[in-house]
Chain A
Amino acid sequence: MNEKLSFQNITDILVQKAGVSKKVGDTFAKAFFDTLIEALSEGEDSIKVKGLGTFKLVQVDSRESVNVSNGERIVIPGYKKVAFTPEDSVVEVLNGRTDHTEDEVVENTDVSDHTEEEEITNSAEEKSVESVCDDNNNDSVNEEDIESLLQVPEPKHVEQPQDAFGGIDMLISTPESVEEVRQQYEEAKAKMEVAVAEARKANAEKVRLERLLERLEKNVVPEGVHTEDNVVDQTDFADHTDSTDDEVVGHTDEKETSHSGEEKLETPVETESDDESKRQEAFNRVMSEPSQTEEAAPSIDKKSRKNWLIAAIFVLLTVLGTFVYLIYRNIEAVEQVSVAQKTTQPAKPTIPAKPVKPVASKVDKDSLVKAPKVDSTKMVSNAQKESPKPEVAQKPAEPSKPERPKTHRVQRGESLTRISQIYYGTKDSVRAILRVNAFNDPNNIPVGAVVNLP
């Protein structure tokens, strides 16, 4: 306790802990602190070291003081210092676990309170509990059977009874409230039954549709993969697959019409075999992605559907992303090219995608005077700067949009800083507020006083 330990003691402990040689531990610890020192003296604002805390460079302003011995006023010059904020975990370690156990105890008592409340409500209103059970049962059934189709109605009937319970805590004491809640419960139950019936209907239809979908998917999934390849890679490979794609699409179209014609699926065996052969055809043609088709084949209804959806979304996003990126690049390239052409006429870059390099190299080859070359590079950099500018200019205009009232009536407990925070989003506008107001005492504004807002 209260010993003063040095660098050496720390490295000894480090060597023990990490199980490394003394030399390694020593060099590491030295490098660790040297890096900190160097980074800070190079003007790094803050260094975050995980597990320890944040070191921050802080400017201390110069201040006036008095020389104790002769009473003269002196100025203590400002300087920079390193402020350190320990991480929360460090403080926890230093304080042992006493704080933790206290927290836990508090939490436990809270929990026990809750259970007591619940017990009271349970004994008072058995029916409400029944409804909870009903709901739970239905939920579990829904999740298993109806899944995605039920997702819309599900939250509805879970929420309604819960709202009723929220009211129960307050109303429980009077018999009228019991009646009220019962009515609400009755209503909720009726709604729920309707919803469940609807959901069952939907479920039946969904199962039928899913069977249909599964068959169609097996041929559709590889197509989705190919479109992705076409967009992203645009290689020769895509040409090969294009023709097969068309054929596959043709097949699926055929089948879609046939399926929609005989929606009831009276002869599943036949269609199954039919599908089998078609799938085999597609499989053979599209050998390049065997894993995808294999994935699609054995998967269960839900999974395949989900996978397909995810794949579709992914493809859409990538297409959009590349599109936006290309457009952005084109705009930038056109800007750069036009600027470059103005300054150096002999340079005519044919490829718009890489405008900067060709321009520079061509200018070099033509061995023009150095001046235009410098100009072109400057202009290019200007063009690059210009493009982000309009975005920046637009931004500051937006926050001022919400209208703010001209005055504010002071409420109990408020301060000027708080008012400033509310209306301007910063505490720094206090001075501005003070300027347009004439308070007797800015530190003690009476409740109900009206503050003018600049």
Chain B
Amino acid sequence: MTNKEFLETVSQRTDFELKDVKRLSSALIDAVLEVVADGNSVTIQGFGSFEPREKASRKIYNPTTKDYIVVPSKTTLSYKMSATLKDKLNMG
């Protein structure tokens, strides 16, 4: 499902126009990212939780050039699905 299809489904569900759905979804994503960027975690009932996760710096090895390269540490957005979603997915 592409972003477009997804937004269309949302607009059908809410009876909002696609234009508004686009605006609102980007605002919603901004809201989530803002909260996560502050170091907080967000739990959405029935869907899962988003939280920032530190990835430690690591060395990677290129076997052809025999070089070690240091990948710097960084923070990524991690998502963990909720137990209810897991149940839903594995009912069948």
Interface residues of A (CB under 8 A from B): 1-7, 9-10, 13-14, 17-18, 20, 24-25, 27-29, 31-37, 39-41, 44-53, 55, 57, 79-82, 84, 86, 90-91, 93-95, 99, 413-415
Residues of B within 8 A of A17 (CB): 27, 30-31
- Chain A residue nearest to B22 (CB atoms) is A50
Are A44 and B24 in touch, CB under 8 angstroms? Answer: no
A55 and B2 CA atoms in complex are apart in Å by 11
A50 and B26 CA atoms in complex are apart in Å by 8
Given contacts A49-B29, A95-B75, contact A2 B39 (CB under 8 A): yes
Given contacts A18-B23, A31-B13, contact A37 B43 (CB under 8 A): no
Are A32 and B1 in touch, CB under 8 angstroms? Answer: no
Are B14 and A10 in touch, CB under 8 angstroms? Answer: no
Are A1 and B39 in touch, CB under 8 angstroms? Answer: yes
Are A84 and B79 in touch, CB under 8 angstroms? Answer: yes
Within 8 A of A (CB), among B62-79: 63-66, 72, 74-79
Number of interface residues, chain B, beta carbon within 8 A: 54
Are A48 and B1 in touch, CB under 8 angstroms? Answer: yes
A81 and B82 CA atoms in complex are apart in Å by 10
Are B10 and A10 in touch, CB under 8 angstroms? Answer: no
Are A39 and B88 in touch, CB under 8 angstroms? Answer: no
Given contacts A17-B30, A35-B13, A44-B1, contact A57 B24 (CB under 8 A): no
A80 and B26 CA atoms in complex are apart in Å by 28
Are B31 and A14 in touch, CB under 8 angstroms? Answer: yes
A39 and B25 CA atoms in complex are apart in Å by 17
- A37's contact among B31, B34, B88, by CB below 8 Å, is which? B88
A35 and B36 CA atoms in complex are apart in Å by 22
Are B75 and A82 in touch, CB under 8 angstroms? Answer: no
Are A32 and B25 in touch, CB under 8 angstroms? Answer: yes
Residues of B within 8 A of A32 (CB): 10, 24-25, 28
B18 interface contact, C-beta 8 A: no
Are A10 and B88 in touch, CB under 8 angstroms? Answer: no
